[in-house]
Structure formats: C-alpha cells, structure tokens
Structure 1
C-alpha cells in the first residue's frame, strides 16, 4: 500500500466514524465484526426491560464483550456521560455475564482521541478486576486496539466477498470497487484475526 492509498483509507474511515452515532455506530461496528468473524460474533440488542446487560456485541471464541459509545460527530463534550456509561455498563456485564466475559472493550468513534477521564476509569476497572482484560477500540492508527487492523487478501473468494460488503458499508459504490481492491488494509477492529 502506498502513502496515497493509506491516506485515502484513513480519510474514508474518519468520515464514516464522524457520520455515525448512537445505534448507527453500533450497527457499523457489528457489521464489520460480522464480516470478519461470521457466526463467532454475536450482535446484541436490548430486548424489553432486560436491556443488553452491558454488552453490545460478543466474540464467543475469546469471551470478548464489546460496549459501543458512538458520540454525535465525535463529540467529546459528554465526558461525564462516557465515564458513567463505562462504569455502569461494565458493572452490568460483571454482575450479569460473569460466566462468559473474559475481556471487556469500549468501542468508540472519538476520532480526535479520548478524554483522559475515560483512560483513568479504564485503568481503575483493570486494577479492581485483574481477572478481566480491558481495552478501547477506536480510530488511533497503529494502535493494537484500532479500527485499522482488519486485514484481507484479495486472492480468495471469501476475502473478495468481505471486501465487496465492506465497500458498501463504507458507503462506496460498485464503480469504486476496482480502485479499492488494490488496497491491502481495510480498517476495522483490533481484536480481529489478521490471518485471513
């Protein structure tokens, strides 16, 4: 991948993350995870008064729970809401899903970075719950926990199918597919397999 290709991908991902919020962001994340993991990823939605128990998505093979925070246009102005959401949602998952939770990840669309208060809360959760692994999944390129880690090879039929679906997910039309096919990185989530 050359620098202009990499820049093109970065701009498209950033635009998509800034365009989606709330349930739309959760849907975007779940569709990307579903493309990569298939039946291993479980998309979770609240049903009635039971809620989602602090889990917006679950990777069965590794016990990873995902909780999404899709701010409107990457709005960092709701620090108190984000911090309380992290504490409350982890608390729910810890009390209601202990038998399946091995890891807990906060997925976000804060393109310009997280508020330090969120980092402090995650570190406190780690300290208070040493048996659970924690992390953020966000926009930060090069980070282990980033949307930039979804890799594919265009030489397999399965990868080509995933690629076509991801092109549509990013809001691109079929005419742009040939240009995109040359790319070797399709950004998604950190915890994703890289052996595809």
Structure 2
C-alpha cells in the first residue's frame, strides 16, 4: 500500500528547522535552494575580510539573508533587528540590481513582533528603491519541499518517510496479527471440543 507522505515530510521539515540554527541553518537553506534551483542559486560565504556584503544567497535579482534562531526562539531581538537593517542596507549598496530581499528564518511557530516591525521599516526603505521585501519562512520551505524528488527530500531531511511510517505502523500490524491468531486458535479450540467424544 502506498502511503501519502506529504504530511509526514512537512512534519520532518518543521522538526529539522527547529533543530538547525546559526551557520547550520544557512547550510540547510542553501541545500534546499540548490536542490530546487540548481546553479541558478548562488550561496554566498564570507571570504577573508570581505564578509558577505549583506547577502547569504542570490537567485537572479533576489537576495536572501539567513537567520537561524536557536531552538526556534529569538533571544536578542534588538541585535537581530539591527542586523536585518544593516544587511539590507549593505545588500542595496553592493547589488544595485536587487529586486527582492528576503529574510530567511527558522521560526516555525512565528516571528517575534520586533522582527515584524523591523521588516515593515525595511519595506518603507525598500519602496523608494522599488525593492520587494519579505520573510522566507516555513511556508516558503514547504513550497521548496513540494518541488523536490523523494531522493532530494531524503538527502536534505535525512530519513525515508515512507519506511519510517511503515515502521511506526508495525506495532499496529503485529497486534492485528496476534488478534487474528488468537481468534483463529479460539475457533479451532471450539471445533476440537465439538469433535471430541464425551
């Protein structure tokens, strides 16, 4: 029987995002983007003293900045908000062709209010430059996940969903088998009693 794996893949995605923070989150984001967009997506890493110039990745004229919160919680919101604004300004200065700026995050349960307020402030700055600004969160990761093959999902999330689902159902299957054997044995026992002379 083929199992519908969509919901299970999304469950694994949420768990993976919660567990991945800092540079590991940026690596996870890059892995998703590369598997869906191939060489059209360019991961950006600091080299020497040059830094990343406000960019963690680029897809054409789209620029991405990553923030991987530890355990899905923002500890120092003021610092992250300052970094968001500084990264946006650096990206504007170093990539004049930028059309979209996305703040990629792993906040599966929702962003904190200061991050939302800062994004709105950045949107106001971006409007004058005709740049579209937004978050890249759980919904965007789900969209990428749906575009991947099962092999890519397995490589990124680290498990085979169908096999795990079947394994999770194994106790249920064993219980059903045992119940059937007991029922069969009970019927056989009744039949034997009927056949034995008194």
Shared fold (TM-score greater than 0.5)?
Answer: yes
Partner of 2:42: 42
Structure 2 gaps, min length 5: 167-198
Contact 1:17 1:111 in 2 (8 A): yes
Rounded Cα–Cα distance in structure 2 between residues aligned with 1:73 and 1:148: 19
Pairwise CA RMSD of aligned residues? 2.4
Quote the offset at 1:117 in angstroms.
1.2
Whether 1:121 and 2:118 are equivalent positions in the alignment is: yes
Shift >3 Å, 4+ stretches: 4-7, 173-179
TM-score by length of 2: 0.74
Pairing of 1:50-65 with structure 2 (within 5 A): 50-60=50-60, 63-65=61-63
Give 1 or 2: higher helix fraction.
2
Q: Give the Cα separation in 1 of the matches to 2:153 and 2:6.
A: 16
Gaps of 5+ in 1: 153-158, 180-196
Distance 1:112 1:178 in 2: 24
8 A Cα contact 1:66 1:104, kept in partner: yes
Bigger Rg, structure 1 or 2: 2
Query: CA separation in 1, counterparts of 2:80 and 2:117?
Result: 12
Shift in Å, 1:137: 0.7
Tell me the distance in 1 between the aligned counterparts of 2:161 and 2:9.
16
Corresponding residue number in structure 1 for 2:90: 92
Indicate the residue corresponding to 1:133 in structure 2.
132
Cα distance in 1 between the residues matched to 2:63 and 2:74: 23
CA distance in 1, matches of 2:164, 2:95: 41
Q: CA deviation at 1:73?
A: 1.2
Provide the residue aligned with 2:18 in structure 1: 18
Is contact 2:5–2:162 with CA below 8 Å preserved after alignment? no
From 170, 176, 181, the counterpart of 2:157: 170
Distance 2:153 2:123 in 1: 33
